[in-house]
Structure 1
Amino acid sequence: MKKLFTLFLSIFLINTLLAQTTHLGTAGKENTTLANSGNVANVSDFPCQPFMVQLNEQLLSFPIEDSAYLKVCPSDIITFGAEAIFFDNYNNYIQTQSNTKFIWKLDNTPPDTGTTIMKTLFQPQILNYSLYGIDVNGCPSENVFKGIILVSGNPIISVTPTINAVANTPFYVSAGVQNEATLLFQPIEIQTATFPSNFINYDTVFLPDGNNISYNNDIVIWSFQGNQLLETIDQLKSINLNMEHSYLGDLSIRITCPNGQNALLKSFSEGNPAMTGTVANSCSSGGGGINLGVAIDAGTGSECYLTPGVGWDYHFKPGATHCFGTGGPTTSYHYIDQCATTWTGPSLISSVPITDSNIVTPPVFYGSYQDLSSLIGCPLNGNWRITVTDHLTIDNGFIFNWGIEFDESLIPDSMSYTINVDSATWTGQNITPTGPFSATILNSNPEISNYTVTLIDEFGCEYDADFIVNTVLGVNDYDNSISQITFYPNPATNLINGSTSNTDWNNSTIELFDSNGKLLKTFVMKDGSIQIDLSNFAVGQYYIKSTNKNNSSHTVKIVVIR
């Protein structure tokens, strides 16, 4: 069996649908809030207790090979099972299997949750699966378990539907990749999809009025090689936010990578929040009443207070110098909300073309407050977090989505795998296997017979194809000169007579077949003679088979003319 040498590829987005914020690291949990559709959920301040997740092999419907591979057939029902391993349980709170949320991800499909999930896959493919956990305290597992599903496919290309064989002569049938084979097949080639180099979480986080309250949104990435790191800042193309907020001076924004390294994208003020590292763009701070996107700045008593505005895209790029704060480039807009209120800005210019602005402006890329080189050494795989802190009890906004874009050279090549066919089995009468992919058929009588060939691939998947064998008589089988019954006249027009002087054949069974071996009619000879009416049969070649009381038989060929 072919060995797999591969890169685990999967993207796992942890988002507001999880109904809890996730914490990464061992330094204790931040005071965080996660919101969905305007409903804010508060998370406790207990320090996280580390735990890991793994597959529960007792719950799996298929064995795991090489610790991570599932090899399945199309339409198989695949049952996945998860379990958690707790390292410091009961120190601060109680962790159990039942109060741990297990999140499953298959490539770019929506996540599933549960201790067990079931999937059915139909197309030949390679799928990456990931398992992640969040405990009762809202803390994420220290690992993302990753693996690969290999899904087989039907290798059959074609089968010869009807085969002509000669009675009493062995006929060879085979399955193979050569055109002369009875059944033609081709091993199945499967491969992973090529993943993009940008990773985006499209869920909305509400940023209500707050007082030094932080709001988090996470992307869990597992698309790179096992321990691949961000080695140079050029490998990070940009950090992108799509958001709106009615008071830029209210905010600070931080990006945190899987091992806890972080960079301050936007500071509330000089030295607030605290940071380590080098200030790259001190003007990405403050900002006063400048807006982000199309912000609806309705009062708390207005029915439009919680109505989202329109998010604009803001990209932070290494080496960029535009200010994301005081002195930043702005533009105006004209927007009427559902309360018939008109909003005009100003807002920081978007990093992508927009239609809401009154003035056409070229896209602007922003420099981070802290030098993004502080992210060098970050693991590429794992939990990346954006944290927006609201420092003043005024104004609100929304993050509609955010993402990270890496250099394309970091993305591994797609993986491929060949699923070979191991053997073929044959079903039908008088068929004898002669090898893994061949057999012989030996029929003694003219007839049409049904057969099935089943291919079995290296995963144990079975694929069937049906064919027909039309057995006809050979030259020696219809030599009238050696028959114990004489049929005349031959050729015949409407009637043909049969007679014998051999008493063993006096009361023989007489069967009439067409040229394809199909039985047309059965007669019984009486006292050594018989007359057969052929008037209802078309002109052509026929066979008459005679069988005596001792079960001896002989077949002759006759011709009907008119």
Structure 2
Amino acid sequence: MSRHLHFFKKYYEGSSPFLRGAEKNNTITRVDFFKKHLFLARGVGLMVMLFIANFGFSQSYNMNGTNITDCSGFFYDSGGGAGNYSASESFTTTICSDATSGTHVQLVFSAVDLADGDMLCFFDGMDASAPALSCSTDFAPGDPFIIQATAANATGCLTITFNSDGSGEAAGWQADMNCIPSCQTILADLVSSDPIVSPPDTGYIDICQGERVFFNGAGIYPQNGIVYQHSDLTSTFEWDFGDGTIGLGPNVSHIYNELGGYIAQLTITDQFGCTNTNLITQRVRVSPNPTFAILGNLPTQICAGDTIGLNAVVNATDSAFLVGVMPNEASFPTAGVRSDSLALPDGSGAYETSIGFSNFTPGQVLTNTSDLVSICVVMEHSWMRDLEISLQCPDGTSIILHDHPGNVGGEVYLGEPNDSDNALNPIPGVGYEYCWTPDATNGTWIEYANANTPQTLPPGNYNSFEPMSNFLGCPLNGEWTIHVEDLWEHDNGFIFEWSIAFNPSLYPNIETFTPQIVNYHWVSNPSIFYQTNDSIAAAPQNAGTASYTFEIEDEFGCAYDTSLFITVLPPNHPDCFSCPEPEQNLQDTSICDGEVLQIDAESTTSLGNQDITFEIFPNYAIGNANHPPANPYSSLLEISTINPATITNAQA
């Protein structure tokens, strides 16, 4: 259990909540709310479920001691979105619902950046005498977190206190303000994983590319029974693995095929739509391939029986060695991605999900259109002109990426749809990736389709219908929401994935890692007669191809290797054999025309009757995973300097 869970569990188990009359009778007054996915990111996306009711432009509030009554907008430190807070501040602000959506206030912090000695604290009620929820020091620096009024709080209000000392100020914070129903607290707990987290609580799951990770999660329900009964049996579990894919259920597994860093999150939702308020933020690091380099002169061929020496060095590039190996750096991604594989409603609704970011500096805004590198969708649809696609930034500013032109125009596909299916039983086709970029030259989707009349819109980069410059001034932290609506019936499609990427230079701190090489050796080979970890001497006795493999293991336990291949020539090859000088010089002899002269000569070598053996040692692992029956492994052995060139007697 993480230190965050210890804190929350201690508070909730020790509290003495007061209840409204309706709650004492074990009934709940429900309010309508809109449930959306928020994809928070700290170097990579983190999935949590939130209840959000604001869709227009949002107001911003700076902390200055004034109370707030609102269910939308942003809550900043006194410096606002562009500046630091000041020294020697002491503010108390209470935020209450304006009753436009839910009854209880929720704050989603993308991150908090405070100087040493400064403190931000939260209380579950109308003032600072209410039960304490937590303080900024309870969360890892730079991590996103959620604070919300609990079901034990009849007012639904949150009180926030902030105190700064006389020296050292920082960027402060940015929080998204929402109102939700009265929810009992749920805490998500990563009970165990395989591989394990090391060190516990604050560590990583370190794996190799293609390795499977098993996650075992559970919910903690410290307020169970205050208003209603809830448990793991009444809740759903959704895992976000940080690479755009999700898993369902308390116990899941996932294969990470690509190198880099990922953050796994668990969202637990009870029977009333209430979700966990903590983030497990489990980092997974997938080892990057090291770089193998040939530093010296590797002979391309030798003769059978010759001796060859090979050596290698790790963590260095030294020309005194033939092979050098250097570890490489990997990072947590700077783009957010969401994979759903959902059918798009056919003229009767819309697809809408959000990707959020929390790893920018609090209050940081988009100042250059080119820093919004791309907005991409992977999708298919049997009638492109049916759709309108828009993107909304965290403050509510929205632009249309693809405009619905009205019920006009010819048929243009997106991707490869199943045009013969129907709205009741849609069948996924093949999605193409379409991106909107600031520097695209293809025009909009409609402009390209009208100018080129394609059957299928080609994948690639396109211009947005409304200019991306409309996003200038948008906060970078928070949720970016895509809206895909089918406005014309009789055709359908699927959206498989969408993503948004920003210029990596915008990120103040991109988390990186470099797994160090901890073990290395040359792999055994029958021709090796001398061997240490970094050096070998070998004398291949047969012709063919000699291969020598140098293998390393990094601190994640991942093995990588490189093989050196050397052609071994047979002993009868001209480069490997020299004819001896004659043992004696013959005397000149004179004969008459027509006279016969007998000359005797014989070979002084035995090559003509020598058996020549060719062999190869690929040192290649074979299994069903890489070579199933449909893809058998083949190894090429090159034969040369054999006469006759074809086999005339298979028994010889």
Tell me whether the two structures share a fold, i.e. TM-score over 0.5. no
TM-score, normalised via structure 1 length? 0.43
Higher normalized contact order (CA 8 Å, seq sep 6+, divided by chain length): 1
TM-score, normalised via structure 2 length? 0.38
Rg comparison, structure with higher value: 1
